[in-house]
Amino acid sequence: MKHILAIPGSLRAGSTNHNILKYLGALVSADVDYSIYSDLALIPPFDPGNDDDYPPEPVFELRELLKQVDGVIICTPEYAFGVPGQLKNMLDWMVSSASFSDKPVALITASLGGEAAHAAMLLILGALNAQVADGAKLNISFIRSKMDGEGNVTDVATIELLKNVLNAFLSVIQQ
């Protein structure tokens, strides 16, 4: 059985990015274990002086979780033309542990615009040595107009793009 960890970059209740990850989770087959990471808010501020084999508990737990999964899907908004601080903070903790090294990652950014955060995330994932397949990255602009009030993706073209990203990602982790 393959294991996927989905990480939303927004902490907001009712987050569109979180809802996109729920939508993708409903698309994967039953023989894939798919879980959404819910402890992003617990990750403390990155401290290089504490970045060793015994980091704060939530960091340690995430590093252990990442060892067990075959791939990661990150879906994040853009804040102030950048990556949301708490997501970037978490990723900084994952550098020295090489937790993303060679890990297949699908990157989805979903915002009003999002190009800057998408580009920044690709650089960060490169620094982490994550493997982002060509078809496994997508920036969705004007996301709020592409979802309904219940958090369902309603835009047909966006649904198609999301399915393509998921399939590209799944084909990598199932190799």
Ligand X SMILES: Cc1cc2nc3c(=O)[nH]c(=O)nc-3n(C[C@H](O)[C@H](O)[C@H](O)COP(=O)(O)O)c2cc1C
Q: Give contact residues for ligand X (rule: CB under 6 A).
A: 10, 12, 15-17, 77-81, 111-114, 143-144
| Shortest Cβ 46–ligand X spacing (Å) | 20
Q: Is 97 or 111 the residue whose CB approaches ligand X more closely?
A: 111
Percentage helix, strand, coil for the chain under 3-state DSSP, each rounded to 5? 45, 20, 35
What is Dmax (Cα atoms) for the chain? 48
Q: Is 137 or 172 the residue whose CB approaches ligand X more closely?
A: 137
The b/e string for 75-86 (b: 16+ C-beta within 10 A; e otherwise) is bbbbbeeebbeb
> In this structure, which amino acid lies at residue 158?
T
DSSP for residue 36:
E
- Quickly tell me which residue has 């800057």 as its tokens: 116
Q: Is 97 or 139 the residue whose CB approaches ligand X more closely?
A: 139
| Shortest Cβ 37–ligand X spacing (Å) | 14
Q: Is 91 or 110 the residue whose CB approaches ligand X more closely?
A: 110
| Shortest Cβ 122–ligand X spacing (Å) | 16
